[in-house]
A = this chain, B = another copy of it.
Amino acid sequence: MSPPRDPQRRSTILAAARQVIAEHGTGRVTHRRVAAKANVPLGSTTYYFKDLDQLVTAALDDALSHYTDTIRHWREELLTSDDLPSTLTRLTVEYLSDRATAITEFELCVAAAREPELRPLAKAWNSELYQALTQHASPTTSRAAIDLINGAMLAALWEDDGELDQRYLTDALTAVGL
């Protein structure tokens, strides 16, 4: 009776919302900013999402599903790698090239510390990489690797050139047992 809403437009809005989150942070997302970025009518941002919170949450969720695709790719690369630390470092550098996505990840991590509703999402995010790594390393090593990768990414995002310290990351991943 109610035909499905245009899924194309919905994801256009979500993509725009992800960008706004990366640029301004979750706390500064507004319907207007998202509509402008998505180039859609203002009304459609409230039409597709009950309220702003839902929109932000949906955007973070959308980011997670993109991330899942990324990790699928990582899995394949790791399977054929004969030097896990180097491969992981390379993949991290590639991932960082999309600065917006990387920042969004951290936005989610911190927002989840404040808001319980976001925690499952943040945990799922972490879990993606964790599952990929535990196929090659112990739980402790896997968790440590995730922390090291995140730490290195954050430091890279603080640099104007966005360059990640590959030497450090490779060494640290090795040290941690990978």
Contacts and interface: CB of A to CB of B under 8 A. Distances in A.
Contacts of A40: none
A162 to B, nearest CB: 10
A123 B175 contact: no
Contact of A172 (B107, B144, B151): B144
Contact of A158 (B122, B141, B151): B122
Given A25-B27, A103-B110, 9 more contacts: A22-B114, A25-B110, A110-B110, A143-B151, A147-B148, A147-B172, A148-B148, A148-B151, A150-B150
A50 to B, nearest CB: 13
Interface residues of A, number: 43
B143 A172 contact: yes
A114 B103 contact: yes
A121 B137 CA distance: 35
Given A103-B114, A147-B148, A148-B147, A140 B109 contact: no
Interface string A140-162: 11011011101110110110100
Interface string A19-47: 00011111110000000000000000000
Instruction: Give the secondary structure class of A's interface.
Output: helix
A109 B152 CA distance: 12
B158 A143 contact: no
A113 B22 CA distance: 9
Nearest to A112: B158
A116 B157 CA distance: 10
Contacts of A144: 148, 151, 172, 175-176
B113 A103 contact: yes
